[in-house]
Every structure is written in C-alpha cells, then in structure tokens.
Chain A
C-alpha cells in the first residue's frame, strides 16, 4: 500500500513540476517566438505578396479586430502613402488547415499576390500549390471574379491531382475577399 502511494505521489509531483516549469517557459518565450515566426516565416512571404512596397512591412503591421477575430494586417506603402494591404486567412486543404496570405491593391481593387504561409499538404502533390506557377496566376486579378477552381466553374487553374489543395487555396482567397470591405472601412477611419 505504501509503495502504491509513493508511486502515485512521486509521478504526480514530477509531472506537475515539469508542467508548471514548461508553461512558465512558454509564457516567457511567447512574444519572442511570435517575432521570430513573423520575421522568418511570414516576413519573406509578405514581402512577395506586397512586392513593390517601399516601407518596412513588419514594423508597419497592425493588429485589428474584425467580427470578433484578431487579424494581423500588413500595410504596404509607396512614398509613405498606403498602397496595398495583406492579411492571412485559414481554410481546410487536403492534409489539414492552410494559412494563405492575400494582398490587395487598395485603389485598383486587384490582388497584388498570394502566398501560402503554412500547409500540411502532400509533398510533391498538394504542396505544389505553394509554388510559383500556381500562386502567380493570382497577381493582378480583380476581386470580383469567380475565385473557384475551373473544376467548380470558376476562373482559377487548379493543380491536376491536387483538387482539395487547390480548392483550399481558392476558399481561403474567397474568405479573404469577404473580409476586405470591412477592413478597408476600418483603416480608412484611422
């Protein structure tokens, strides 16, 4: 009996102490990690989406709230005047959620570019949606066109054999465009 109690107590105490220590470290590093992800993962991709902007896209970012959700907004400027914005939306791909960053030219109402930030697609198959031939077709498209893939009656050229992945990107873009009017209102107020 005494043995069983000792086993339970020792294991519980060790687990609790380790758990507390880890959550402490997590809290301490959370902000730094967010910055690192911003610089190493999102940073290069935002630069591609907002190609042509002449400001520091990372320092000029803003946290905004749309429909109760927090959105990280990147603002691209030309000669200190806001020219384009970019933000992430999430949708389901084949292997899991994918995070897609879409950029918009504020005056022309056209897409400045699309980049996949995170994905869990099959390497070599679905992952090809992250590559240039697929993503560059979005550059310059008007926001009012049908962004479904051609298989679903839209204008987007999907990747053969990667229907779900292509659909995932298409859905993310449609979700992104749906948020655009409100986001534009918000930044025009500021």
Chain B
C-alpha cells in the first residue's frame, strides 16, 4: 500500500469509532460539547502518533512475550505527558476533560494500532497510520459533539446557534442521547458504504 493510503484510511475506511469500532467509552463521555470532543481528539492524535512511532522504531528489539507490557508503558508515558502539558498550557480543556485524559491509556484504539500495525510496519507508515486514524477520530468526536451540543444545549463551541424559541433536547447531552446519536451516525455511515459498494 502506498504511504498516502496509510494516512487516508483513517479518515473514512478505518475511521474510529464508526468503522474501527474501538474507543467507544470516551467517545460517548467527552462528546457533550464540540470543544471537549475536539480537545480529546487532539490529545489522542498526539498520543497515537507518538506511540506508533516509538513502538515501530523499537519493534525489532521488543521481545514478543513482553510486547503488550512495553506498549502500555510507552502509551501511558505519552498520556501522562499530555496530562502535564494540558495542565500547564490548556487548563480549561484539562478541567473539562477531567478523568478522561488518563483514561486515554486504555483507549483501545491506541493499543489496537500499536499491536495491529506499528509493531509490524516501518516508522513512516506507522506515523501516518497514527495521524490518519487520530485525525479521523478527532473529526468523529467533533461531529458527534457538535450534534449533541446543538440539539442538547442549542450552542456550538459555546456560542448560541439556534433560534431563540428553540427548546434544547436535554437528554442529548446525557447518556441516552450519546448512544442514540452514535447509533444513528453508525447506521448512516453503514448505509453510505453499502450503497457505494452496490
């Protein structure tokens, strides 16, 4: 596969969480608003790309039996780095993401790509894989977050966007709204893919 394919596959064909059905927990939790969705996505891009690159460069040295342990140590270190850097430079995002920053460590997408791709491919390909999937995830989170924010609060990135007599659907920013939005988007994406195939 050409290197460009490694990057673009994360944007549609293998986009999490819709096609690569991984990382659903944080998806549901941080998409209460567009801004937190975007913030989480950017954190994941950083961790995913860095861990993919490091895992890929060490892939010939790490023995098979300790590979998961090694991957987790590497992933966890980058996550702590993100936590410290966001505390230092983006405190409001840090406050709104709260406990979900440390939970990036157990986001299946990251360990999944390390095991399925970075440990078997070259550094550049792994970097592009991480970037593509990370950006795809960010787009998904931001879109999902925007839908839930617009319908659930009437705002987008904090600014009022609906007409003044609009009554927000409060359940959209709670758990039921998350599942429903995710399910509907999943169904739409599946129907687009199957109609383009036939």
- Chain A residues in contact with chain B, CB under 8 A? 3, 6-7, 10-11, 14-15, 18, 21-22, 25-26, 29, 32-33, 36-37, 39-40
A25's partner among B63, B81, B89, B91 (CB-CB below 8 A) is B81
Contact string against A for B residues 69-89, beta-carbon threshold 8 Å, 1 for contact and 0 otherwise:
110011011001100110111
Classify the interface of chain A: helix, strand, loop or mixed: helix
- The size bracket of the interface on B is 20 to 34
**Inside 8 A of B95's CB, which chain A residues have their CB?**
40
Task: Judge whether A22 and B81 touch: CB under 8 Å.
Answer: yes
In the assembled complex, the Cα of A10 lies from the Cα of B54 at a distance in Å of 14
Q: Nearest residue in B to A29 (C-beta to C-beta)?
A: B88
CB distance from B110 to the nearest CB of A (A): 15
Instruction: List residues of chain A with CB within 8 A of the CB of B89.
Output: 32
A-B pairs with beta carbons under 8 Å apart, 22 shown: A3-B63, A6-B63, A10-B61, A10-B63, A10-B70, A11-B73, A14-B58, A14-B62, A14-B73, A15-B73, A18-B76, A18-B77, A21-B77, A22-B77, A29-B85, A29-B88, A32-B88, A32-B89, A33-B84, A33-B87, A36-B88, A40-B95
Closest 7 CB pairs of A and B: A18-B77, A29-B88, A36-B91, A32-B88, A7-B66, A33-B87, A40-B91
Pairwise interchain contact B63-A26, C-beta atoms closer than 8 A: no
- A33 touches which one: B62, B63, B76, B88 (CB < 8 A)? B88
Give the chain A neighbours of B74 by CB distance below 8 A. Answer: 14, 18
Since A18-B73, A26-B84 are in contact, a sample of 16 more A-B pairs with Cβ atoms closer than 8 Å, ordered by chain A residue number, is A3-B63, A10-B62, A10-B70, A11-B69, A11-B70, A14-B58, A14-B70, A14-B74, A18-B74, A21-B77, A22-B80, A25-B84, A29-B87, A32-B88, A33-B87, A40-B95
Q: In the docked arrangement, what's the CA distance between A25 and B77, Å?
A: 11
On chain B, the residues within 8 Å of A36 by CB distance are: 87-88, 91
| B65 interface contact, C-beta 8 A | yes
Q: Contacts of B76 on A, CB cut-off 8 Å?
A: 18
Chain B residues within an 8 Å CB radius of A29: 84-85, 87-88
Rounded to whole Å, the gap between the CB of B33 and the closest CB of chain A is 18
* B191 contacts A by Cβ under 8 Å: no
Hey, which chain A residues are within 8 Å of B70, CB to CB?
A: 10-11, 14
B77 to chain A, nearest CB (A): 4
Return chain A residues, CB-CB under 8 Å to B73.
11, 14-15, 18
Q: Is B92 an interface residue (CB 8 A)?
A: yes
- Which residues of A have CB within 8 Å of B65? 3, 7
Which residues from chain A contact B88 at a C-beta distance below 8 Å? 29, 32-33, 36
Please measure, in the bound complex, the distance between the C-alpha atom of A7 and the C-alpha atom of B95, giving whole angstroms. Answer: 39
The complex places the Cα of A10 from the Cα of B68 at a distance, in Å, of: 13
How far in angstroms is the closest Cβ of chain A from B116? 20
> How far does the Cβ of B69 sit from chain A's closest Cβ, in whole Å?
6
Chain A residue contacts of B63, Cβ below 8 A:
3, 6-7, 10
Minimum distance in angstroms from A96 CB to a CB of chain B: 15
Instruction: Give A131 to B35 CA distance when docked, in angstroms.
Output: 27
Shortest Cβ distance from B87 into A: residue: A33
B80 proximity list for chain A (CB < 8 A) = 22
Complex Cα–Cα for A187 and B80 (A): 40
Question: Among B58, B62, B91, B95, which residue has the most Cβ atoms of chain A within 10 A?
Answer: B91
Complex alpha-carbon distance, A21 and B81, angstroms: 9
Chain A residue nearest to B94 (CB atoms) is A36
Which of B70, B87, B88 counts the most A-chain CB atoms under 10 A from its CB?
B88
Among B58, B70, B76, chain A packs the most CB atoms within 10 A around the CB of B70
